[in-house]
């Protein structure tokens, strides 16, 4: 008897945003940034969310994950493997979780008592990287139910940036574009090879210094420094080729793809990217933008956009979604998946 | 099935950690008799990074330092993919397992796995010596064959986080809870690493021990929380 090959599928997904809404005009009023830059106009980000009292990176991941488990009709104790890809990994005292892995703390919070766990670090491409690793664990028979999750409590970089001089540290300005959020995908095993697939992963490491996050100087929590214009130019330069290569690898036609979600960095950049793709491939069916109300939620940005799409009833079972990720490094990775059954009944 | 085609280890400094890792990686590639441009995957599996860096991946810094396929996308250009795996001391095992999956599922024949940890800030209390280990993992070479791995959870009775020292005005390491360390144990075909060592040292000690061994071997790593990984090998 020959074993049937095993592939993976997205059983469910969820994004989570904390309740507190913070407006860009309040954190970056005109005059606070050199050359009287209107940050809201520059980025198209009107507001973002910040954690509620007592929340932290683990809680953001938890809130998204319990939603994903409920939608996937899976109990926490049935999960074999948890892969976390949070960049921030902050507790609510701004301490970074180092050892054991963030996912060990998360597994305990979730009650995933039978689950193996580890973390993946690949900046904003972490989620797609973790999905690929989860897919391989399933294909190689090492897991059946995998929860890929992230909680990004990253708004402390806004506070740090506000306390610096933007004249002396212009690379701190992009820190004002982030927002807190959580994301989760539940993956399961299937015999269908077409439910979750990936483009070729690439790291263009010549751009590795364009966005760096580490501990703040003389203050608790993290700081982030981004050469925004250079990073944007480097990413845009690859956009068309990365899409074209993925279409070729996966045998897809651009006009047939139901939903395209790129990394939510800024509304203006996403619109610019969309215009580039329209010129080459034509107008796609649905290009999602949620960053205007969420800010850049790092590795959770696609999950947050998917959740917004669910709220607006954009998705139907059997439709396909292309998730295009960019992460500092500069890594580029694209996932393609089919909206699972039962999506219309998800709460 | 993949093998460890070659490896190199040594001390590194916090300031020049990427340079140090790259130097060891270069040496491992020379020993494996491969070009750096043959590498399609770079995985970094350390926990403690300079100034608690959280992005980008250390793997991408190592890739850039080694100038592995650092070029813009073209329709048929070959690229390298870099990312980090963080799993306490078990990171080395986890990275080798993940590298084997990538090699099995792609055209890549060679992966570079680097395990390294450094004192994050000068003011941190540091229980270890900065150290790095670079391994070339391959499906097309001879060497120690990686067969399988399995993992079990630990208890969260001990953990390490960063914390802000209000007097020194800097983020430092904060070790919380009691750790029950288990010492090094060598049986004929089994090697259990000293759990008080960094992951890279634990892996290096196993690689040294495996020299001149034959047959099926077993390596166990236990981290400071009691989480365990067991890998099976064949020589």
Domains of chain A are 1-347 (3.40.47.10)
The region that residue A251 occupies, defined by phi over 0 for left and psi between -120 and 50 for alpha, beta otherwise, is left
Are residues B195 and B129 both part of a single domain?
no
ipTM beyond cut 0.85: yes
Tell me whether residues A327 and B47 touch, CB distance under 8 A: no
Domain termination residue (choose one: B143, B171, B193): B143
If you write DSSP's letter for every residue of A180-236 in order, what string do you get?
-EEEEEEEEEES-TTSEEE---EE-GGGTTSEEEEEPSSSSSEEEEE-HHHHHHHHH
Structure tokens at B59: 């793997």
Are residues B12 and B127 both part of a single domain?
yes
pLDDT at B223 over 90: no
Report yes or no: B134 and B8 within 8 Å, Cβ to Cβ. Answer: yes
Are residues B58 and B134 both part of a single domain?
yes
Question: With a CB-CB cutoff of 8 Å, which residues 135-194 of chain B face chain A?
Answer: 151-154, 156, 159-164, 169-171, 173-174
Given B60, B170, B171, which is nearest A331 (Cβ)?
B60
Are residues B29 and B116 both part of a single domain?
yes
The 10s digit of each residue's pLDDT in A16-58 is 999 999 999 999 999 999 989 999 999 999 999 999 999 999 9
Q: What percent of chain B has pLDDT over 70?
A: 99
* pLDDT at residue number B73: 97
Are residues B163 and B92 both part of a single domain?
no
- Over residues A104-130, the mean pLDDT reads 97
Are residues B167 and B133 both part of a single domain?
no
- Over residues A266-272, the mean pLDDT reads 91
Shortest distance, CA B177 to any CA of chain A (angstroms): 12
Cα–Cα distance, B154 to B11 (Å, whole number): 29
| A6 near B CB under 8 A | no
Shortest distance, CA B104 to any CA of chain A (angstroms): 9
* pLDDT at residue number B180: 67
Tell me whether residues B163 and A140 touch, CB distance under 8 A: no
The set of residues, in sequence order, having a beta carbon less than 8 Å from that of B76 and lying 6+ positions away, is none
Helices assigned H by DSSP within chain B = 17-31, 58-66, 91-104, 199-210
DSSP A5: P
Given the structure tokens 């997904």, which residue do they identify?
A13
- Residues of B in Cβ contact (< 8 Å) with A105: 156, 159
Q: Tally the residues of chain A.
A: 347
CA-nearest residue to B76 within chain A is A245
- Assign B109 to helix, strand or coil: coil
- Residues of B in Cβ contact (< 8 Å) with A218: 169-170
The domain that contains B126 carries what CATH number? 3.40.47.10
- Over residues A210-222, the mean pLDDT reads 96
Q: What percent of chain B has pLDDT over 90?
A: 82
Tell me whether residues B82 and A97 touch, CB distance under 8 A: no
pLDDT at B23 over 90: yes
Given B63, B87, B160, which is nearest A118 (Cβ)?
B87
* pLDDT at residue number B150: 94
Are residues B104 and B46 both part of a single domain?
yes
If one counts the domains in chain B, the total is: 2
| Cα–Cα nearest to A317, from A340, A335, A336 | A340
If you write DSSP's letter for every residue of A278-332 in order, what string do you get?
HHHH---S-B---HHHH-B-GGGHHHHHHHHHHHTT---TT-EEEEEEEETTTEE
Given A96, A133, A330, which is nearest B52 (Cβ)?
A96
Tell me whether residues B153 and A117 touch, CB distance under 8 A: yes
Are residues B30 and B91 both part of a single domain?
yes
Domain termination residue (choose one: B127, B143, B159): B143
- Over residues B156-181, the mean pLDDT reads 90
Cα–Cα distance, B137 to B139 (Å, whole number): 7
- Assign B202 to helix, strand or coil: helix
pLDDT at A215 over 90: yes
Cα pseudo-dihedral A173, A175, A176, A182, rounded to 10: 170
Tell me whether residues A104 and B80 touch, CB distance under 8 A: no
Question: With a CB-CB cutoff of 8 Å, which residues 185-204 of chain A face chain B?
Answer: 200-204
Strand partners, A188: A9
Cα–Cα distance, A211 to B191 (Å, whole number): 41
Please state whether the predicted TM-score (pTM) of the whole model is above 0.95.
yes
Are residues B138 and B190 both part of a single domain?
no
CA-nearest residue to A202 within chain B is B81
CA-nearest residue to B61 within chain A is A208
Query: Residues A225-234: contacts with CB within 8 Å, 24+ apart?
Result: A225/A169, A225/A171, A225/A172, A225/A175, A226/A171, A226/A174, A226/A175, A226/A328, A227/A171, A228/A171, A228/A173, A228/A174, A231/A207, A231/A328, A231/A330, A232/A265, A232/A269, A234/A204, A234/A207, A234/A210, A234/A330
pLDDT at A1 over 70: no
* pLDDT at residue number B153: 87
Tell me whether residues A203 and B159 touch, CB distance under 8 A: no
Q: Is the dihedral of CA A304, A310, A315, A317 positive or negative?
A: positive
* pLDDT at residue number B187: 78
DSSP B14: S
Q: For residue A255, with 0-12 CB atoms within 10 Å meaning exposed, 13-18 middle and 19 or more buried, which class applies?
A: exposed
- Residues of A in Cβ contact (< 8 Å) with B151: 116
Cα–Cα distance, A24 to B114 (Å, whole number): 41
| Domain region containing B54 | 2-143
Helices assigned H by DSSP within B133-229 = 199-210
* pLDDT at residue number A193: 97
Cα A302 to the center of its chain, rounded Å:
5
pLDDT at A2 over 70: no
Shortest distance, CA B188 to any CA of chain A (angstroms): 28
Are residues B14 and B123 both part of a single domain?
yes
Residue A248's H or E segment, with its range, is: helix A228-250
Test mutation, A87, A203, A222, A243, chain B, max B CBs within 10 A? A203
- Assign A337 to helix, strand or coil: strand
Given B54, B169, B223, which is nearest A96 (Cβ)?
B54
pLDDT at B177 over 90: no
- Over residues A78-103, the mean pLDDT reads 96
Cα–Cα distance, B96 to B202 (Å, whole number): 14
- Over residues B80-91, the mean pLDDT reads 97
Tell me whether residues A238 and B72 touch, CB distance under 8 A: yes
- Residues of B in Cβ contact (< 8 Å) with A108: 156
Are residues B182 and B139 both part of a single domain?
no
Cα–Cα distance, A295 to B159 (Å, whole number): 32
Q: For residue B198, with 0-12 CB atoms within 10 Å meaning exposed, 13-18 middle and 19 or more buried, which class applies?
A: buried
pLDDT at B182 over 80: no
Domain termination residue (choose one: B143, B172, B197): B143
* pLDDT at residue number B50: 97
Given B84, B105, B161, which is nearest A120 (Cβ)?
B84
The 10s digit of each residue's pLDDT in A146-199 is 999 999 999 999 999 999 999 999 999 999 999 999 999 999 999 999 999 999
Are residues B125 and B11 both part of a single domain?
yes
Cα–Cα distance, A184 to A181 (Å, whole number): 11
Distances (CA, A) of A345 to A32, A68, A341, B3: 46, 13, 9, 48
Tell me whether residues B162 and A102 touch, CB distance under 8 A: no
The 10s digit of each residue's pLDDT in A319-341 is 999 999 999 999 999 999 999 99
The 10s digit of each residue's pLDDT in B117-127 is 999 999 999 99
């Amino acid at each position: 008897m020959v074993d049937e090959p095993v592939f993976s599928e997205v059983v469910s997904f969820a994004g989570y945003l904390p309740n507190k809404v913070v407006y860009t005009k309040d954190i970056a009023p005109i005059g606070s940034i050199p050359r009287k830059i209107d940050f809201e106009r520059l980025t198209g980000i009107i507001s973002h969310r910040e954690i509620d009292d007592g929340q932290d990176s683990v809680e953001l991941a938890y809130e998204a994950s319990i939603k994903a488990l409920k939608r996937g009709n899976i109990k926490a104790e049935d999960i074999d493997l948890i892969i976390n890809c949070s960049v921030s990994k902050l507790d609510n005292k701004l301490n970074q979780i180092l050892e054991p892995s963030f996912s060990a703390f998360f597994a305990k919070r979730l009650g995933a008592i039978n689950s193996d766990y580890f973390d993946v670090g690949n900046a904003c491409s972490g989620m797609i990287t973790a999905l690929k690793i989860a897919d391989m664990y399933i294909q190689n028979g090492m897991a059946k139910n995998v929860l890929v999750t992230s909680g990004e409590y990253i708004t402390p970089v806004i506070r740090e940036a506000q306390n610096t001089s933007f004249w002396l540290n212009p690379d701190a300005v992009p820190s004002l574009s982030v927002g807190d959020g959580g994301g989760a995908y539940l993956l399961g095993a299937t015999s269908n090879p077409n439910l979750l697939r990936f483009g070729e992963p690439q790291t263009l490491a010549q751009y590795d210094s364009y966005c760096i996050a580490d501990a703040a100087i003389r203050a608790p929590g993290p700081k982030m420094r981004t050469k925004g214009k250079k990073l944007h130019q480097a990413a845009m330069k690859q956009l068309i080729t990365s899409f074209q290569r993925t279409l070729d690898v996966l045998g897809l036609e651009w006009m047939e793809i139901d939903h395209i979600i790129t990394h939510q960095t800024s509304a203006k950049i996403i619109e610019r990217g969309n215009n580039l793709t329209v010129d080459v491939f034509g107008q796609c069916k649905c290009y999602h933008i949620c960053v205007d109300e969420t800010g850049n939620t790092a590795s959770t940005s696609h999950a947050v956009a998917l959740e917004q799409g669910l709220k607006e009833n954009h998705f139907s079972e059997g439709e396909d979604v292309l998730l295009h990720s960019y992460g500092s490094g500069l890594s580029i990775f694209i996932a393609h998946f089919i909206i699972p059954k039962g999506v219309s009944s998800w709460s | 099935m993949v093998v460890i085609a070659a490896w190199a280890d040594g001390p590194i400094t916090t300031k020049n950690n990427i340079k140090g890792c790259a130097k060891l990686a270069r040496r491992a590639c020379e020993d494996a008799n491969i070009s750096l441009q043959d590498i399609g995957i770079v995985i970094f599996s350390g926990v403690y990074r300079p100034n608690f860096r959280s992005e980008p991946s250390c793997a991408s810094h190592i890739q850039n330092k080694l100038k592995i396929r650092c070029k813009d996308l073209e329709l048929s250009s070959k690229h390298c993919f870099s990312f980090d795996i963080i799993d306490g001391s078990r990171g080395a095992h986890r990275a080798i397992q993940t590298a084997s999956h990538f090699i099995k599922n792609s055209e890549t024949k060679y992966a570079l796995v680097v395990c390294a940890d450094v004192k994050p800030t000068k003011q941190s209390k540091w229980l270890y010596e900065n150290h790095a280990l670079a391994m070339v993992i391959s499906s097309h070479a001879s060497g120690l064959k990686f067969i399988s791995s399995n993992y079990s959870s630990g208890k969260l009775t001990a953990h390490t986080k960063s914390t802000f020292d209000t007097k020194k005005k800097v983020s430092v390491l904060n070790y919380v809870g009691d750790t029950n360390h288990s010492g090094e144990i060598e049986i004929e075909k089994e090697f259990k690493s000293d759990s008080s060592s960094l992951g890279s040292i634990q892996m290096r000690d196993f690689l040294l021990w495996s020299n001149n061994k034959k047959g099926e071997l077993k390596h166990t790593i236990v981290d400071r929380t009691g989480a365990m990984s067991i890998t099976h090998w064949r020589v």
